[in-house]
Amino acid sequence: MRDLALAGVLVALLALAVARPFVGVLAWSWISFMNPHQEGWGFVQTLPWAMMAFLATVFGCLVAREPRRFPTSALTILFVVFAVWITITSLAGIGPPEPRWNMWDLVIKVIAGLLLTAAMLTDRHRIDAMVWMIAISLGFYGVKGGIFTVMTGGVYIVLGPPGTMIGDRNHLAVALLVGLPLMNYLRLQARHRIVRIVLAFAMATTLIATVGSQSRGGLVALIATAGVFWLRSRGKILSGIVVAAAVAGVIAFMPDSWVERMNTIREYQQDDSAMGRINIWRAALALGLARPLLGTGFWGTHSQSIVDMVAPGVKARATHSIWLEVIADHGFPGFAIWLCILGVGIWYSVRIVRLAKSRPELRWAYDLSRMIQVSIVAYMTGGTFLSLSYWDQFWTLLVILGATLGLVRATAGQPARAGRVAAEGWRPQPAAGLRPAANRA
């Protein structure tokens, strides 16, 4: 029965994607981010829903003739350049071809989806819709995991959906921390008290789920995220008390077994898991230095024969570092492109804050940018210990920043329209080659 219900919802979304392409973008994002089909038990789990949603959206774009132009920006250009470079490194890769090309196929599809998303985020309403989609996708597992942790006394580990990017407890912990600031942005912008209460509850349970994942890297990321969250929050005294009390309360709730596991952070030399990560970090850097131009191609550190080339005796495994994973996979040129993608996103956020700070009608953009800055810190801190270099949800946040900057620049250049912009959101002008958003999904 659950499979039939899920299939019915997904099929309905596919039909809507043909008529309303932006609905298709949201549907594709929901399927890719949350993996709702993994909540089924039968046939619904095996169907390629994300691919079907993407194709339906592309077909809908052709029918609706939307978007009219490709959004050329530093970020979209970098994504295209990165797609070209990972194709070159995959062709020159030295690892097993099947996993290498499977990963290439996944990342190329992600980039294609990001470019389509960038073209469709044309006003504030669509940006908020995408933020809601990310928050809901991550919040589902945050609320579910938080309630589970409370009901079981924190004894059991909170995991994400199996077979997905955030299925591992460490990946899930960082993903939840990335989602927390987005929930807070939506809470700040919500007009209805009930919505604000629901979002506050979701934030509390997501925090509990993050600790309940029993991820040591997640704890390190939580501390860093909490500090930046406080710096980026309104009302430093009150927010500081709330953040400190919330983190301390959740940690105090956890059982002794959790405390013992977290204490191993200080004694990492005696922990096999921690030393295994340090050894593979050294091997990944050595592979990057041995093949500085092209790297090994995707999945290099997973191949024992490749790891043995530079670090005999080190067990092949996931790199567990966003930084070193890209260096090993695509060499230093690939790492430079990947780093520029991250850097451009950070620069977008800083630029938005500067342009929107003194304009009340752009307070939403100011709040969104500052909260995404917290998400970026969570990603970089947690990602230092994880293989999340090609995570589509995080890249989507950068695309959201790019779209927001475009709206902020348009509003800043037209002060006479400020009041209407604040009420309705920015509308692209016909001269720019786009129809008014009122005629769209």
Query: How does DSSP assign 118-186, residue by residue?
Result: HHH--SHHHHHHHHHHHHHHHHHHHHHHHHHHHHHTT-SPP---TTSTT-SHHHHHHHHHHHHHHHHHH
52 and 198, same domain (yes or no)? no
For 401, half-sphere exposure in the C-beta direction (CA atoms, 13 angstrom radius) is: 30
Residue 271's pLDDT is 58
Q: CB–CB of 405/362 below 8 Å?
A: no
Which among 66, 86, 110 is the end of a domain? 66
Say yes or no: 54 and 132 in one domain.
no
Structure tokens at 439: 């005629």
pLDDT at residue 210, as a whole number? 92
Of the chain, the percentage scoring pLDDT greater than 90 comes to: 58
Residue 235 lies in a domain: yes
State the Cα–Cα distance between residues 420 and 296, nearest whole angstrom: 53
Do 169 and 144 reside in the same domain of the chain? yes
Q: Give a yes or no: residue 290 inside a domain.
A: no
> 224 and 133, same structural domain?
yes
Residue 227 has pLDDT above 50, yes or no: yes
Q: How far is CA 259 from CA 250, 295, 435, in A?
A: 12, 39, 57
Asked if residue 93 has pLDDT above 80, the reply is yes
Is the bond preceding 67 in cis, omega lying within 30 degrees of 0? yes
Q: How many distinct structural domains can be found in the chain?
A: 2
Same domain, residue pair 85 and 202: yes
Are residues 342 and 380 both part of a single domain? Answer: yes
In a domain, 436, yes or no: no
User: What average pLDDT does the segment 258-269 reach?
Assistant: 69
pLDDT at 57 over 50: yes
Lowest mean pLDDT among 106-115, 216-225, 363-372: 216-225
Q: Is residue 387 part of a domain?
A: yes
Highest mean pLDDT among 202-211, 274-283, 426-435: 202-211
Neighbours of 265 (CB within 10 A): 13
How far apart are the C-alpha atoms of 27 and 57, rounded to whole Å? 9
* Mean pLDDT (whole number) for 313-321: 91
Instruction: Indicate if 213 and 351 belong to the same structural domain.
Output: yes
Q: What pLDDT digit, counting tens, does each position of 160-196 carry?
A: 888 788 888 899 999 999 999 999 999 999 999 999 9
Cβ neighbour number for residue 144 with a 10 Å cutoff: 15
145 and 164 both lie in a single domain? yes
| Amino acid in the structure at residue 36 | P
Same domain, 55 and 163: no
Q: Which residues contact 75 (CB under 8 A, 6 or more apart)?
A: 118, 341, 344, 345, 348, 398, 399, 402
Q: Is 295 left (phi over 0), alpha (psi -120 to 50) or beta?
A: left
Give domain status of residue 440, yes or no. no
Domain boundary among 66, 82, 117: 66
| CA–CA gap between residue 52 and residue 7 (Å, rounded) | 12
Q: Which of 51, 66, 81 is the last residue of a domain?
A: 66
Residues 140 and 6 in one domain: no
Q: Is residue 111 in some structural domain?
A: yes
Domain range for residue 138? 72-242+337-427
Residue at 62 is within a domain: yes
Whether residue 229 is contained in a domain is answered as: yes
Residue 103 and residue 150 share a domain: yes
Give whole-number Cα distances, 346 to 200, 218, 260, 370, in Å.
27, 22, 36, 10
**In contact, 54 and 60? CB cutoff 8 Å:** no
Question: Rounded distance, CA 182 to CA 121, Å?
Answer: 17
**Whether residue 119 is found in the same domain as residue 223:** yes
Query: Which tens digits make up the pLDDT trace of 376-434?
Result: 999 999 999 888 999 999 999 999 999 999 999 988 776 544 444 443 444 443 333 33
- Tell me which of 236 and 321 has the higher pLDDT: 321
- Mean pLDDT rounded to a whole number for the chain: 87
Question: Would you state the pLDDT for residue 406?
Answer: 93
Q: What does each C-alpha distance from 238 to 11, 229, 244, 245 come to in angstroms?
A: 46, 13, 10, 11
